[in-house]
Amino acid sequence: MTIKGFPNNFLWGGATAANQLEGGWNLGGKGPSIADMFTGGNKDRARRITPELEADTFYPNHEAVDFYHHYKEDIRLFAEMGFKAYRFSIAWSRIFPTGEETEPNREGLEFYHNVLDELEKYGIEPIVTMSHYENPFQLTKTYGGWDNRKLIDIFMPYAECILREYQDRVTYWILFNEINLLTQPMGGYFAGGMILEGVENEEERRYQAMHNQLVASAKTVKLGKSISESFQFGCMIAYVGAYALTCKPEDVRAQQRTDQIHNCIAGDVHVRGQYPAFAHRFFAEKNIDINMQPEDEQILQDGVVDYYTFSYYTTNCVAENPEGAKVSGNGSGGLMNPYLKNSDWGWPIDPEGIRWALNNIHDRYQLPTMIVENGLGAVDVVEEDGSINDDYRIAYLGAHIEQMKEAVKDGVNLIGYMPWGCIDLVSASTGEMKKRYGFIYVDKHDDGSGDFGRKKKKSFEWYKKVIASNGELLENEAQ
Ligand code: BG6
């Protein structure tokens, strides 16, 4: 029997999010989202959220990389690379500026029709995230964020509006980006739209927010299926693989627990329609008392997802007594792995880990699976001749794709790969432009300077060959 690599209809593409890409934060009737209230930062200086905009403070998401005015050029470049699919998010506050209008903002809806027109022109399949860290900020002011159950009722008209509006144009929907970041402190702002500094029951409120989003997700799936039978709904998990630091049984158990809490609670509810047994014990031991309504059980069961998507950047180590050097890494922290090197932002680089993650996910859920984020945040240098030689990015992505191919040969039903920030954009964790992920460079910098000019990096031509060869030409071969 021949063991084959990527299937012929594999979806090669790239991923972005509205708040980090579009700019035009107050154009076309858009209201401010929580992302618009974040200042810049860097790896040593955290971003600040300001309840009101401060004069003389730079807010990097306001202009971002101005996709709002460059989308035609950008999508043409994606098409030139051979993208089969493109993952982007709809900014909720472009459609409902405060979240609570009774009528949607037509100009916002038209913007995404224009984006979809361009994608259609090049035969690129849209993959649309409904909520990617961009709650209308008014909802934070009025209700505090997703820990308030009221948000479910406010989200549903938005979900219904975009599902109906784009029903003939979009098949693949992604519900809440990295919903499981709500198991981590940083997830409060990003995933939950909440400001929880100094709040006593901070952890409980994050899990409440996750529950409310899981209920909203399930309701959206049920509603969506009544609008169009062709819709496919995916969950989105920030998958951070955890290894036991040693083979000491207590460390191995600590690893299992971390994996269960961080990676599995939200995924299990999305896929299986109920909380796993270990979650109940975890909540009880932590005194986390989630307000679940009697009808929630049925709602969750009725709205399970069709496919599983996740982001993968890194792994870390876990020990019973976590002493030692810590790493950064997609909200997760954890201990340094002595066998791995870290990126310049302290995220361990672990291509083997993506095969391990894919096998774990497949064993647990047996669903079609898509990697909707992966990549290396790095500093890029524009040489005097204008070239950008990002060999480090090619090495990172090539090694990960090689391991994805192994996972496909292992039998994983992997249907697509969307590297993150296929065009440079604002970093979510640090607010920097300096931390770049793209195949396409954007002339925009952390002091606000730059003319938004686009330039192909070396990885642009490389990825084009990877796609053309359906993942056969990697690393040096494709350069
Ligand atoms: C994921 C998010 O957590 O990681 C993205 O979904 C984010 O929004 C990406 O940009 C990379 O993280 P960062 O902090 O380097 O931008």
Encode pLDDT of 110-166 as tens digits. 999 999 999 999 999 999 999 999 999 999 999 999 999 999 999 999 999 999 999
Residue with the smallest CA separation from ligand 1 atom 10 is: 428
Is the pLDDT score of 267 beyond 70?
yes
Nearest-CA neighbor of 409 among 6, 1, 21?
6
d(CA 44, CA 407): 36
- The H-or-E segment that residue 236 falls in is strand 232-238
Q: Which residues contact 337 (CB under 8 A, 6 or more apart)?
A: 243, 315, 316, 317, 327, 348, 350
Q: How confident is the model at residue 330 (pLDDT cuts 50, 70, 90)?
A: low
CA distance 351 to 375: 11
Supply the residue whose CA is at minimum distance from atom 14 of ligand 1. Answer: 429
Which three-class secondary structure state does DSSP give residue 174? strand
Kind and range of the H or E run holding 455: strand 454-456
Centre of ligand 1 to C-alpha 330, Å, is 7
CA distance readout (Å), 256 to 262, 271, 312 = 10, 20, 18
Q: Confidence band (pLDDT; 50, 70, 90) for 476? A: low
Contact between 174 and 237 under an 8 Å Cβ cutoff? The reply is no
Mean pLDDT of the chain: 95
**Closest C-alpha residue for ligand 1 atom 4:** 330
Alpha-carbon distances, residue 361 vs 139, 268, 288, 354 (angstroms): 34, 11, 27, 10
Q: Whose CA is nearest to atom 9 of ligand 1?
A: 428
Ligand 1 centroid–CA 39 distance in Å is 16
User: How much is the pLDDT for 188?
Assistant: 84
The confidence score (pLDDT) of residue 334 equals 86
Three-state SS at 130: strand
Residues lining ligand 1, Cβ inside 6 A: 17, 20, 177-178, 238, 311, 330, 373, 377, 420, 427-430, 435
Atom of ligand 1 nearest to the CA of 238: 3
3-state secondary structure of 318: strand
As given in the structure block, the two tokens for residue 464 are 């084009």
Max distance between CA atoms of the chain, in angstroms, equals 66
Atom of ligand 1 nearest to the CA of 331: 3
**pLDDT tens-digit map of 377-398:** 999 999 999 999 999 999 999 9
pLDDT at 475: 59
Q: Is the per-residue pLDDT at 478 higher than 60?
A: no
- Between the CA of 331 and the centroid of ligand 1 the distance, in Å, is 9
Q: What is the pLDDT at residue 329? A: 64
Average pLDDT over residues 445-454: 97
Atom nearest to 236 CA in ligand 1: 6
CA-nearest residue for atom 15, ligand 1, is 427
Q: 431: closest CA among 418, 447, 452, 412? A: 447
Residue located via tokens 């472009």: 94
Q: Is the pLDDT of residue 460 over 70?
A: yes
What pLDDT was estimated at residue 190?
84
For ligand 1, atom 7, the nearest C-alpha belongs to 428
Per-residue pLDDT for 404 more than 80?
yes
| Strand-pair category, 172-176 with 125-131 | parallel
Residue 477 has pLDDT above 70, yes or no: no
d(CA 399, CA 87): 22
- Distance, CA 340 to ligand 1 centroid (Å)? 21
What is the per-residue pLDDT for 457?
Answer: 98
**Strand-pair partners of 126:** 86
pLDDT at 231 over 70: yes
Q: Which of 311, 327, 347, 422 to mutate to test the pocket of ligand 1 (most atoms within 8 A of CB)?
A: 311
Residues with a known catalytic role: 178, 373
Best residue among 427, 430, 436, 437 to mutate for probing ligand 1's pocket (most ligand atoms within 8 Å of CB) is 427
CA 333 remoteness from chain centre: 17
Mind listing the pLDDT tens digit for each residue in 90-106?
999 999 999 999 999 99
| Confidence at residue 223, expressed as pLDDT on a 0 to 100 scale | 98
Q: What pLDDT, in 10s, does the model give residues 356-370?
A: 999 999 999 999 999
Domains and CATH numbers, the chain: 11-468 (3.20.20.80)
Distance CA 376, CA 389 (A): 14
Give the separation between CA 440 and CA 365, rounded to whole angstroms: 35
Question: Ligand 1: which of 379, 429, 435 to mutate, most ligand atoms within 8 Å of CB?
Answer: 429
Residue 46 C-alpha to ligand 1 middle, in angstroms? 15
With b meaning 16 or more CB within 10 Å and e meaning fewer, what string describes 434-448? bbbbbbbbbebebee
Say if strands 440-442 and 85-89 run parallel, antiparallel, or are unpaired: unpaired
